[in-house]
């Protein structure tokens, strides 16, 4: 059984590497084609090829984000994690992203989103701006907002005890946002546990 598992793991790693190499080749082929179109003066076609190459590069970037998805906090299970690169809409949606979903036996659910680039990648910065007004006109029905600090990074926490919902947002560098949303949670603790398991410093350094 152990040998079968090892063989399966090796096969999976090799196939993943081969898949990444295929995407790299597609990107390079499109860039080479774009160069030919530029030389020929066909600029619209060149832009199409460049956009396709960008989408492929973003796919590769998204795949590397998966290593930043942490294990589930105590009492939770990691149900799913996936990555997604973005093409022409990168200026708004971000270049790449990774998501994960966690759940607990009591029905609580947590969504993690890591976004690189674009307006979305800076959304946590807007949340941080909003947190400057934390403590002003706080309403129990709206939830309590406050600043938090994790691994040297300042984030914004919103928690509504009545609705059992919470959101943590972090701006990691200039391009990356991390958002953790919880539903059916009795406290922000599991959201904070996920945040503390993310290597923010490496995330900022790499992206």
Q: Does 30 score more than 70 pLDDT?
A: yes
Per-residue pLDDT of 62-88, as tens digits, reads 788 999 999 999 999 999 999 877 554
Residues 32 and 114 in one domain: no
Residues 53 and 145 in one domain: no
Tell me the C-alpha distance between 127 and 147, whole Å. Answer: 10
Q: Which of 63, 79, 106 is the last residue of a domain?
A: 63
Average pLDDT over the chain reads: 79
Residues 75 and 18 in one domain: no
More confident residue, 10 or 206: 206
| Containing structural domain, residue 49 | 2-63
Q: What CATH number has the domain bearing residue 97?
A: 3.40.1000
Residues 69 and 118 in one domain: yes
Q: Report the percentage of the chain scoring pLDDT > 70.
A: 72
Residues 84 and 169 in one domain: yes
Q: Which of 34, 63, 92 is the last residue of a domain?
A: 63
pLDDT at residue 122 in the model: 55
Residues 164 and 96 in one domain: yes
pLDDT at residue 101 in the model: 98
Residues 71 and 37 in one domain: no
Mean pLDDT of 86-113: 79
Residues 53 and 144 in one domain: no
Tell me the C-alpha distance between 98 and 71, whole Å. Answer: 14
Q: How many domains does the chain have?
A: 2
pLDDT at residue 94 in the model: 53
Element at 12 (helix H, strand E): helix 2-40
Tell me the C-alpha distance between 7 and 59, whole Å. Answer: 27
Tell me the C-alpha distance between 205 and 207, whole Å. Answer: 6
Q: pLDDT tier at 103 (50, 70, 90 boundaries)? A: very high
* H-only helix segments in 69-161: 90-93, 123-130
Tell me the C-alpha distance between 168 and 152, whole Å. Answer: 15
Residues 183 and 137 in one domain: yes
Residues 72 and 49 in one domain: no
Per-residue pLDDT of 110-144, as tens digits, reads 999 999 975 444 554 444 444 444 444 455 555 78
């Amino acid at each position: 059984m152990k040998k079968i598992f090892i063989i399966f793991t090796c096969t999976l790693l090799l196939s993943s590497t081969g898949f990444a190499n295929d995407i790299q080749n597609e990107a390079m082929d499109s860039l080479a084609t774009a160069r030919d179109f530029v030389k020929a003066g066909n600029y619209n076609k060149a832009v199409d090829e460049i956009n396709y190459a960008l989408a492929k590069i973003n796919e590769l970037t998204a795949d590397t984000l998966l290593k930043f998805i942490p294990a589930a906090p105590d009492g939770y299970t990691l149900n799913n994690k996936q990555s997604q690169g973005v093409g022409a809409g990168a200026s708004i949606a971000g270049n790449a992203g990774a998501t994960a979903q966690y759940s607990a036996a009591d029905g609580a659910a947590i969504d993690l989103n890591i976004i690189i680039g674009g307006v979305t990648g800076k959304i946590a910065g807007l949340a941080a701006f909003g947190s400057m007004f934390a403590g002003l006109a706080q309403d129990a029905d709206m939830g309590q907002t406050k600043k938090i600090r994790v691994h040297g990074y300042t984030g914004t926490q919103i928690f509504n005890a009545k609705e059992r919902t919470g959101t943590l947002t972090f701006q990691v560098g200039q391009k990356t946002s991390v958002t953790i949303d919880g539903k059916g949670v009795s406290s922000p603790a599991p959201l904070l546990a996920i945040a503390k398991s993310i290597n923010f410093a490496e995330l900022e350094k790499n992206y």
